[in-house]
Amino acid sequence: MNWLFTWLMLITVLLLIGWGLIRRERIYQFPFLVGVITFSFIMPQIPALADDHFLPGGAYVKTIAFSILCLTMCWLGWSSNARPFRFLQQNFDEKRLLIVSLFLSVTGAYFYYRLSRLPGEVSVGVQMSGAPVAWLFFARFLTYGLAIATLCFARRFSWTAALIIGVDLVFYLDRIVVTGKRAEAVELIAIFVLAFWFQRGWIVPRAFAVTGIVVGMLLMSSMSDYRDITRANSGPLWEDISRIDIAANFDNLLKDGGPEMHNAVLRIYNTDTSLEFDFGMFHWNRLVFNYVPAQLVGEKFKSALMAKLPALGREYSPLTGTTETGMADAFQSFWYFGALKFLLLSYLVRRLWVSANAGATTAQIVYMLSIVPAMHAISHQTDWALIVWVHMLIFLVPALGWARRPPQHTWHEQSFVVTPSLRSHLTATP
């Protein structure tokens, strides 16, 4: 039975990837990217778990069956009749957008610089605490500035935009190289390819997409070794990095399984046994954790704001630094009905996509910055997109609001270039 559901899981993932490869522009869409993250991060972990006789009886089948249901919801939520968000349709002054980009980039660069001065043992592959948490929170401004500048540059060449992008990349790439952040690396790629898609209709060739999937899957299993090296040396030591045996690490992952799906199996089994659910209060606690500063209100007050969640099983002891997958927290919230979280997320991201392709500049920026957190609903937790949207609502939206004025020389939504390939997409069902 275990292997039957393993093959069903693989077929579901391949169908999502195949759906995306049928039409070239679908490689930028949520269902395809869900298939990619599942294929590269989740699938290599589960063959060993299928033969793990130490797991509770039936736990593996429950987890894989629920995972298939969640993946299916991601596809169903990509509704063909989704309409654009009207509130995202604004006009912008390009010069003001670049001023906003510069301000956000400079602010974010300062906090990235502060983070870069930290020793590796407190900044690489560990749970930060104290001031570095605040620095990382505001370092997100640099990503906003980079996305805006890239979108402006994709629309038309600008030395100002090019300079902002160049400076931002110095800090952004330093963060990626030193800490081995996969999310930031994928987000950087997404910013550039989506900006040129929205503004010029450029599409990455399928061959590059398939190559990226395979290479990403192989490299995933070696990231812990990479981070061990950068943590010990507060930066990459290329001689040691060159000795990482990528093939052996991937082979060991297939043989031994991965901790993330092992965590998910135990969490889902424990929830199914106890039938104790948090009914979505997990998301409230994550918002409090991320947006209520204990340094200002006190740890006691912050703890009082959090809801009490069901206790974890005594046998459950996840490794530090590992995730539990979004499937685990979705099941913890609403049992099998937790898969509706993925349906809702996919529908919202679909409306962002439609709005962005209709020429809404705000939607283009939001989609560029949301697609990677949305993908992490599979590999990490379902709260990632929500946390990012709240951050944008607090900091990015006011900045963009200033860029809407004055009305003269505005960047009109009608200036969006609809290429032949994009026009066919906009008139076709997914």
What is 156-175 written as a DSSP string? S--HHHHHHHHHHHHHHHHH
Tell me the two tokens of residue 363: 């939607």
Burial class (CB in 10 A: 0-12, 13-18, 19+), 134: middle
300-314 residues labelled b (16+ CB within 10 A) or e (exposed): eebeeeeeebbebee
- In this structure, which amino acid lies at residue 169? L
Residue 18 predicted with pLDDT over 90: yes
Non-local CB neighbours of 40 within 8 Å, separated by 6+ positions: 213, 216, 217, 220
d(CA 320, CA 323) in angstroms, rounded, equals 9
pLDDT at site 130? 59
SS3 label, residue 344? helix
Residue 49 exposed, middle or buried by CB count within 10 Å (0-12, 13-18, 19+): buried
Pair of tokens at residue 332: 């913890």
Of 93-97, 125-129, 411-415, least confident by mean pLDDT is 411-415
Average pLDDT in the 195-216 region? Answer: 89
Q: What is the pLDDT of residue 198?
A: 93
- DSSP E strand boundaries for 78-227: 92-93
Closest residue by Cα to residue 343 from 76, 28, 79: 76
CA dist 184 and 176 (Å) reads 6
Beta carbons of 187 and 143 less than 8 angstroms apart: yes
Q: What's at 323, amino acid-wise?
A: T
Name the β-bridge partners of 411.
92
More confident of the two residues 299 and 64:
64
The answer to whether residues 400 and 100 touch, using CB atoms and an 8 Å cutoff, is yes
At residue 139's C-alpha, the angle toward residues 116 and 325, to 5°, is: 95
Per the document, the length of the chain is: 430
Tokens of 282: 């997990």
Residue 363: closest CA among 422, 421, 426, 413:
413
Q: Which strand (E) or helix (H) includes residue 36?
A: helix 30-37
Tens digits of per-residue pLDDT, 211-251? 888 888 888 777 777 777 776 666 667 777 777 878 888 88
Cα angle 264, 265, 270 (rounded to 5 degrees) comes to: 100
Question: What is the pLDDT, as a whole number, of residue 231?
Answer: 67
Using a pLDDT cut of 90, give the percent of the chain over it: 48
Burial of 384 (0-12, 13-18, 19+ CB in 10 A): buried
Name which of 71, 67, 28 is nearest 193 in CA terms. Answer: 28
- pLDDT value at residue 114: 82
Angle at alpha carbon of residue 122, lines to 121 and 125, rounded to 5°: 75
Dist. CA 48–CA 308, nearest whole Å: 34
**Mean pLDDT on 48-56:** 88
pLDDT band at 413 (very low <50, low <70, confident <90, very high): very low
Q: What is residue 426's predicted lDDT score, i.e. its pLDDT?
A: 42
Residue 38 DSSP label = I
Please provide residue 93's backbone torsions phi and psi, each rounded to the nearest 5 degrees. -90, 125
- 374-404: pLDDT as tens digits: 999 999 999 999 999 999 999 999 999 888 8
What does the block give as tokens for 142? Answer: 């640099």
pLDDT for res 38: 95
Paired sense of beta strands 410-411 and 92-93, if any: antiparallel
Nearby residues of 252 by Cβ (< 8 Å), 6 or more positions away? 221
pLDDT tens per residue, range 267-306: 999 999 989 999 989 999 999 988 888 778 888 888 889 8
Check residue 309 and report its DSSP letter.
P
3-state secondary structure of 15: helix
Among 32, 52, 26, 86, smallest CA distance to 264 is for: 52
Nearest to 402 by CA among 103, 191, 155: 103
